[in-house]
Amino acid sequence: MPKNVFVLGLSEQQRGELHTVRGADELRFHGLLDYDVLVGAEHYELGALLDEARAQLAGFDGTVDAIIAHWDFPTSVLGPVLAAEHDIPAPSLRSILTCEHKYWSRLTQRESVPECVPAFAAFDPFDDDALDALDAGDVAFPFWVKPVKSHSSQLGFEIHTRAQFAEALDEIRASIRRYGDAFDEALGMVDLPERVEGVTGTACIAESIVSGVQAAPEGSMYRGDFLVHGVFDMHRAADGHSFDRLDYPASSISSALQQRMIDVTERYVRHVGFDNGCFNAEFMWDADADKLWLIEVNTRISQSHSDLFAKVDGVSNHEFAIDVALGRRPRPHARAGKFATAAKCLMGHETDGVVEAVPSASDIERVRERFPDTLVEITVAVGDRLSELPNQNPYRYELATLYMGAQSTDALAEDFASAQQLLPFTIRESAAAR
């Protein structure tokens, strides 16, 4: 009998990726809550989302065999909570929150992988004297600030002066409750260690700035067995604060350095008791000092990686999440895709403005004809003001995402450059542009 797999925030692209997994003909895929409810909402209420998901599952006429998630919070918390209620293998909520609460995570990193942790401190962004408290600690200018719960660099700012800190606080105070309130609901579901109590979902963390080459291992832990699915290169854009390409497999760093990243990740996830789930970790390597920094550990497969796995390996990373949820050990696979390398490529715009024109359907088709199997997602529409769009990096607004494959990394870079020329945007610059 086919197994029923529920995917939180299932999109049409992901539905196609799911059918690349081995044994897909023996699975039935079902969306659980809508993408817009989980990813595009202006504010989240965790309890209401849980109730809606529970009602949908209770009304399903069949067995609930697997629940998987590939989006960030609140999806990353909803999945394990719902899975536990249906006796489906999943990480404990405490281990999830330990990783996702940026301050709590740094504390546990300092216990398990101290050599990879920059100086950090928590602060209350609603405290007018917050900067004075940071000045008295280990974090000094310049530093990076971000909420203890956010994603995609949202509300993250590089701070060099008191004036920049004040400007960042204005933006953080206006928007931090979008995730912070729901994250507090999640924190209320576990017993917090004393050192984390009081560092709520509307708190922030300041960290020393680190630099270098970035890469990201993705893997899973199943009944104590640690497995790496692959390692990704993360190429920064010219602004230094955002990414313009995510490549698979990683080629910019040595296999020995990749193994160091993998070893650090394993030490950390074991330390926090993370099991029966998937993860991806982000690292930065300072080549001059041969210093490895751990940026963060995410408690899910990455949806950004899914099409890249399919292009190179022939199988989406959803297969790993499904295997774990169905109670079977994930199965590594050889390179069996059409391409030797693949990338998620981001087209961005550095200043605010209003979108006056976007690429046409024929523009997109020309890209697909020239670069077969390329997926193009236009993420803005005519009339949009870039600064008002959700889920945007504060340093670079996202216009489009391309998923491309090639036979070499050099060819991939050249193809992306050419594809951008075929996708014209017109942005009317704002008088208040940054």
Per-residue model confidence as pLDDT tens for the chain (434 residues): 899 999 999 988 888 889 889 899 999 999 999 998 998 888 999 999 999 999 999 999 999 999 999 899 999 999 999 999 999 999 999 999 999 999 999 999 999 999 999 999 999 999 999 998 886 567 889 999 999 998 767 889 999 999 999 999 999 999 999 999 999 999 999 999 999 999 999 999 999 999 999 999 999 999 999 999 999 999 877 665 667 899 999 999 999 999 999 999 999 999 999 999 999 999 999 999 999 999 999 999 988 899 999 999 999 999 999 999 999 999 877 788 999 999 999 999 988 999 999 999 999 999 999 999 999 999 999 999 998 887 677 678 899 999 999 999 999 999 999 999 999 999 998 754 44
Angle (CA) 270 274 275, round 5°: 105
Q: Strands 341-349 and 277-286: what pairing?
A: unpaired
Condensed to tens digits (0 to 9), the pLDDT of residues 323-353 reads 999 999 998 777 889 999 999 999 999 889 9
CA distance 278 to 368: 32
Q: What is the pLDDT of residue 308?
A: 95
pLDDT for 242: 67
Handedness of CA 294, 298, 299, 304 (dihedral sign): negative
pLDDT score of 154 = 81
d(CA 106, CA 94): 15
Q: Which of 178, 301, 153, 324 is nearest to 239 (CA)?
A: 153
Phi and psi angles of residue 144, each rounded to the nearest 5 degrees, phi first: -110, 135
Residue 210 backbone phi and psi in degrees, to 5? -120, 160
Under 8 Å between Cβ of 268 and 297: yes
Q: What is the pLDDT of residue 434?
A: 42
Closest CA to 138 of 123, 121, 155: 121
* Confidence (pLDDT) at 433: 42
pTM: 0.92
